[in-house]
Amino acid sequence: MAMTNEEFRMNAHELVDWMADYLENLAQYPVKPDMKPGDIKSQLPSAAPENGEDFQAIFSDFKNIIVPGMTHWQHPGFFAYFPANNSEPSILAEMLTATIGAQCMLWLTSPAAEELEERMMEWLRDILGLPKEFIGVIQDSSSSATLVALLSAREKRSGFEINRRGFSPADRFRVYTSTQGHSSIDKDVKIAGIGIENLVKIEVDANFAMQADKLEEAIIHDLADGLVPLAVVSTFGTTSSTAIDPIGAIRRICAKYNCWHHVDASYAGTALMLPEIREMAPDICHCDSFVVNPHKWMFTNFDCSAYFIRDKQALVNTFSILPEYLKTAEDKLVNNYRDWGVPLGRRFRALKLWFVIRTYGIAGMQQKIRDHIAAGQWLKEEILKTPGIELMAPVPFNLACFRFHPQGMDDNMALDNYNEKILEKINRSGSIFLTQTRLNGRYVIRFVAGQTHATLETVQKGWRSVVDISLINSTPK
């Protein structure tokens, strides 16, 4: 049963009303559903319907089965992981993207999509203070962007030979990141054929930032062993605590030993739109490649990962493949983004960025980021002055790591168990959602104030819930 255009119009209006109501009333939902594995699947028929169903039946099941099983990432009590931002203009752009339904692999397959992406990457590069020689492309995720960086580094180093002949015994590459580097780096090193044993995890300092002197020692050691230092992935805003690696010192080491320097700024990179944050890492502009996810902290729906590279030719030579059926007359004049990453087919992702940047303006985005950082700093101060709660890492942005530490409980294992139980209790409340990590082997709770509509008030309310629910100094049930 196909949907007529008239029915589409009517249903779409109903849907948009539901969407606006949802966003308006989000606080009334439990932030995280109280579900057991299989609870949703058991409500879904085991076979597809033989005959088409009415839209009202589908929409009603969406409301009754799917929505109650969703974690509400835009909920004002969501302070878990890193956020996956959306915003009203971004949602509207995604609706248009879905409506047009273009596949944007070549300039020819949608010139506007390709040229808007080019322009958006230029805008973003300038907004973040990256150098003009950087050229950008939107990837689906940071994991993909870092893979693209490692593959480009590998190919450039081998004179683009590994793509042709595979690895030779001489290609004994080593990649370096800190012990706080994201797990996607491990995954990418494996996929790139470098081998997880060749990913060297460099120790961090008391602030969870990579120790540059240890990096240099590791490189010298590897060279002495006949290994080939290929790339360093440094992080601007680690996942566990938003630590900032010493980008300048790492850059100098990379230059000295001819290593590719990729900066993973997936989350905190958005804050580079603030001049005061740029001062924290002035050397970031000298890296070879850089990734930031507007889908994390720049009010843009997942997926949208902005990848910037200095050497466009290294990228295109690594990925370019030109079968007859993809040739176009404009090939030499345009960017065909199918050659700038792994997938051939591409979504039109630049549109939502365009809508977001134009709606907020640079000043509006900067204000939001400043407000989020101010809320993070408020949280830090609150933790510092609350007895029985310990701050576990510096707070450069808007993520605070803490743990409950009742008087007299000094055994670390006991504290880990205690905090794990309290976190379960907090998350069972349905009003707030936080997640955990480990720092120096200790279980700590993370609180991130980076959701699009997070304000000092929502953060204060969230923190009050944490304190109330945890009932400090009482044994959690």
Ligand X SMILES: Cc1ncc(COP(=O)(O)O)c(C=O)c1O
Q: Which is nearer to ligand X, 154 or 446 (CB)?
A: 446
Report in angstroms how near the CB of residue 154 gets to ligand X at its nearest: 19
Tokens of 275: 């001049």
The residue among 181 and 422 lying less far from ligand X, judged by its C-beta, is 181
C-alpha to C-alpha distances, 437 to 40, 49, 54, 458, nearest whole angstrom: 28, 43, 45, 23
Least distance in Å: CB of 138 to ligand X? Answer: 12
Query: Phi first, then psi: what are they for 138, rounded to 5°?
Result: -90, 125
In the bound state with ligand X, the residue whose beta carbon lies nearer, of 236 and 402, is 236
Contact 288, 148 (CB under 8 A): no
CA angle (211, 212, 214) in 5-degree steps: 70
- Inter-residue contact 380 to 389 (CB < 8 Å): no
Query: How near is the Cβ of 83 to ligand X at its closest, in Å?
Result: 10
Pick 75 or 182: Cβ nearer ligand X: 182
Residue type, 109: T
**Helix, strand, coil % (nearest 5) of the chain?**
50, 15, 40
Is 314 exposed, middle or buried (CB count within 10 Å of its CB: 0-12, 13-18, 19+)?
Answer: buried
CA 146/CA 426 separation, integer angstroms: 34
Q: Which is nearer to ligand X, 84 or 415 (CB)?
A: 84
CB of 143 to ligand X, least distance (A): 3
Q: How far is the CB of 300 from ligand X (least distance, A)?
A: 12
Q: Which is nearer to ligand X, 134 or 267 (CB)?
A: 267
- Whether 202 and 147 have beta carbons less than 8 Å apart is answered as no
Least spacing, CB of residue 346 vs ligand X, in Å:
16
Q: Supply the minimum distance, in Å, between the C-beta of residue 297 and ligand X.
A: 10
Amino acid of residue 409: M
Task: Measure the CA angle with vertex 16, ends 12 and 21; round to 5°.
Answer: 150
Q: Which is nearer to ligand X, 431 or 451 (CB)?
A: 451
- Residues of this chain that bind ligand X (CB under 6 A): 82, 141-143, 182, 184, 235, 238-239, 264, 266-267, 293, 305
Amino acid at 73: W
Based on CB atoms, which residue is closest to ligand X, 61 or 186? 186
Listed in sequence order, the DSSP H helices in 386-448 are 412-428
Question: What DSSP string describes 182-208?
Answer: -HHHHHHHHHTTS-GGGEEEE-B-TTS
Taking the least distance from each CB to ligand X, the nearer of 306 and 375 is 306
CB of 250 to ligand X, least distance (A): 15
- Reply yes or no: is the peptide bond before residue 303 cis, omega within 30 of 0: yes
Minimum CB separation from ligand X for residue 399, in Å? 10
Q: Is 378 helix (H, G, I), strand (E, B) or coil?
A: helix
For 305-354, give the DSSP string.
EEEEES-HHHHHHHH----GGG--TTTTTS--GGGGSS-SS----HHHHH
End-to-end CA, the chain: 53
**Minimum distance from residue 264 beta carbon to ligand X (Å):** 5
We find the least distance from the C-beta atom of residue 296 to ligand X, in angstroms, to be 7
Neighbour tally for 225: CB within 10 Å: 9
Give min distance, CB of 82 to ligand X, in A: 5
Which token pair is 453? 């509509």
Cβ partners under 8 Å of residue 330, min gap 6:
107, 108
Closer by beta carbon to ligand X, 157 or else 349: 349
Q: How far is the C-alpha of 124 from the C-alpha of 126, rounded, in Å?
A: 5
Give the sign of the dihedral formed by CA 430, CA 434, CA 437, CA 443: negative
Beta carbon nearer to ligand X, 138 or 351: 138
By C-beta, is 87 or 141 nearer to ligand X?
141
